[in-house]
Amino acid sequence: MDLESRLRLAGDVPAVEEFLSPTAGRLHHRDQDAVGLFWVEVQPNNGERAAFIARIEWTVYPDRPPSLVFVESIGVSGVGAPSAWPGANGYRYGSNDVCKPFTAEGQRLHSEWNSGPHSWRSTGNPFLYVVENVQDDINRVDGRRAG
């Protein structure tokens, strides 16, 4: 990741941490992780359900959407079992991707998203935008899991 991406990403991280805090969610970046790799614990608004762990990896920030998959625990590089994935539309554990406009995988699958309302938005705080969308999607299904 280039220096400009690192600086811009570092500047946007505090807002993501602040957003996650009230719901007991957490943002993790370990010393051994690549610069653009983060682990996000997303706690459903139904506090009775366990948190999801999203692995979010940025390559060029904020100009490209991140790769986003769900894993069973922080530090796991492989894609998680179906039970690690939310049961929300577009969260496809069988294909190992989140087919949404705010992910690299979704943008790669849908060339029609390169323009119009589904195009990647690099303005504001894109990291916060991604995490807010994930939180909203998980809350919409009341924290249910795919598997």
Contact, 78 vs 97, CB < 8 A?
no
pLDDT at 147: 73
The answer to whether position 75 is within a domain reads: yes
pLDDT per residue as tens digits for the range 27-83: 999 999 999 999 999 999 987 889 999 999 999 999 999 999 999 999 987 888 899
The structural domain count of the chain equals: 1
Contact, 85 vs 70, CB < 8 A?
yes
| CATH number of 10's domain | 3.10.110.10
DSSP string, 46-84: STTSPPEEEEEE-SSTTTSPPEEEEESSTT--SPPPGGG
What 8-state DSSP symbol labels residue 91? E
The answer to whether position 145 is within a domain reads: no
pTM score, whole prediction: 0.95
Residues of the domain holding 11: 3-140
pLDDT at 80: 82
Determine the length of the chain. Answer: 147
Indicate if the pLDDT at residue 4 is higher than 90.
Answer: yes
